[in-house]
């Protein structure tokens, strides 16, 4: 079901988004070799507890953590564990919080220390694809046009564009209608309207777009073991225009 938000609802999402942005900044700022993925989850937990919000992920279909922490060949839904972060890793962090009943959800990827030029390109082009897609978000826009833009950027840069995991509507539920694919044909698909909120979240791989779910039932990995990147924002089609609730602080 499509839900429409009032100005008051969007204000709650803005406040939730600010906390998500703070978590991203603190994790980006504090992550260094020798830390574990559990350490990153603890950073998020502490910020959530002192910010008067609730975690979106913890307990969601029994997910056991506050964030998804996905290193290297993990595309999405990585469970924070004792994995020790090393120089040259790429880490993707996805987090959502709830403020007064409304969710905000966002992800980012970053390199730890020195990474290769190929890996830098993966990170920058995934982020670029998200930002270019956001520029297209407006009342009356078709989701096929947005997905087409993302897919073209992946193809131009010879990156695998993951298609079996998509963005989504968001509000009082973390995952609402519509689904927001990262591919499509221009001027086709669902039509966005003022009052909606969506998450756009391109996932690009250095190799094939193909992937599989690990034995834990959550962790999604690239089929060829090559590295992946994931960027996501929560965007509202507010009464004053398009607004990114989870803007990065870095």
Q: Are 221 and 73 in contact (CB under 8 A)?
A: yes
Residue 219 sits in a domain of what CATH number?
3.90.230.10
pLDDT tens-digit profile, the chain (250 residues)? 899 999 999 999 999 999 999 999 999 999 999 999 999 999 999 999 999 999 999 999 999 999 999 999 999 999 999 999 999 999 999 999 999 999 999 999 999 999 999 999 999 999 999 999 999 999 999 999 999 999 999 999 999 999 999 999 999 999 999 999 999 999 999 999 999 999 999 999 999 999 999 999 999 999 999 999 999 999 999 999 999 999 998 8
Q: Are 152 and 120 in contact (CB under 8 A)?
A: no
Looking at the structure of the chain, the number of domains it has is: 1
Positions at the binding site for substrate: 77, 175
164 inside domain? yes
64 inside domain? yes
250 inside domain? no
130 inside domain? yes
Q: Are 17 and 246 in contact (CB under 8 A)?
A: yes
Positions at the binding site: 77, 94, 105, 168, 175, 201, 232
1 inside domain? no
249 inside domain? no
| Full DSSP string of the chain | ------HHHHHHHHHHHHHHHHHHHHHHHH--TT-BHHHHHHHHHHHHHHTT-EESSTTGGG--SSEEEEETTEEE-PPP-SPBP-TT-EEEEEEEEEETTEEEEEEEEEE-S---HHHHHHHHHHHHHHHHHHHT--TT-BHHHHHHHHHHHHHHTT-EE--SS-EEE-SSSSSEEEEE-S---TT-SPBP-TT-EEEE--EEESS-S-EEE-TTSS-EEETT---EEE-BEEEEEETTEEEETT----
2 inside domain? no
Q: Is the peptide bond before 116 cis (omega within 30 degrees of 0)?
A: no
Positions at the binding site for a divalent metal cation: 94, 105, 168, 201, 232
CA-CA distance, 132 to 128, in Å (whole number)? 6
Domain housing 182: 7-244
CA-CA distance, 67 to 64, in Å (whole number)? 9
Cα 154 → chain centroid:
17
pTM above 0.85, yes or no: yes
Strands 211-213 and 54-55: unpaired
């Amino acid at each position: 079901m499509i839900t429409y938000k009032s100005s008051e609802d969007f204000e709650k999402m803005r406040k939730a988004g600010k906390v998500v942005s703070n978590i991203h900044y603190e994790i980006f700022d504090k992550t260094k070799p020798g830390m574990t993925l559990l350490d990153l989850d603890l950073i998020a937990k502490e910020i959530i507890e002192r910010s008067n919000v609730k975690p979106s992920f913890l307990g969601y279909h029994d997910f056991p953590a506050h964030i998804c922490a996905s290193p290297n060949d993990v595309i999405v839904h990585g469970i924070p564990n004792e994995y020790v972060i090393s120089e040259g890793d790429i880490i993707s962090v996805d987090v959502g919080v709830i403020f007064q009943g409304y969710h905000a959800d966002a992800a980012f990827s970053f390199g730890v220390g020195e990474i290769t030029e190929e890996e830098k390109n993966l990170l920058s082009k995934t982020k670029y694809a998200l930002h270019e897609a956001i520029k297209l978000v407006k009342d009356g826009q078709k989701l096929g046009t947005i997905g087409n833009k993302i897919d073209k950027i992946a193809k131009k840069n010879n990156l695998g564009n993951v298609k079996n995991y998509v963005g989504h509507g968001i509000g009082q539920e973390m995952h609402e209608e519509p689904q927001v694919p990262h591919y499509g044909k221009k001027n086709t698909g669902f039509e966005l309207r003022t009052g909606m909120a969506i998450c756009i979240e391109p996932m690009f791989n250095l190799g094939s777009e193909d992937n599989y779910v690990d034995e834990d039932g959550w962790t999604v990995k690239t089929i060829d073991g090559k590295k992946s990147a994931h960027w996501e924002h929560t965007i509202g089609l507010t009464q004053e225009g398009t607004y990114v609730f989870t803007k990065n602080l870095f």
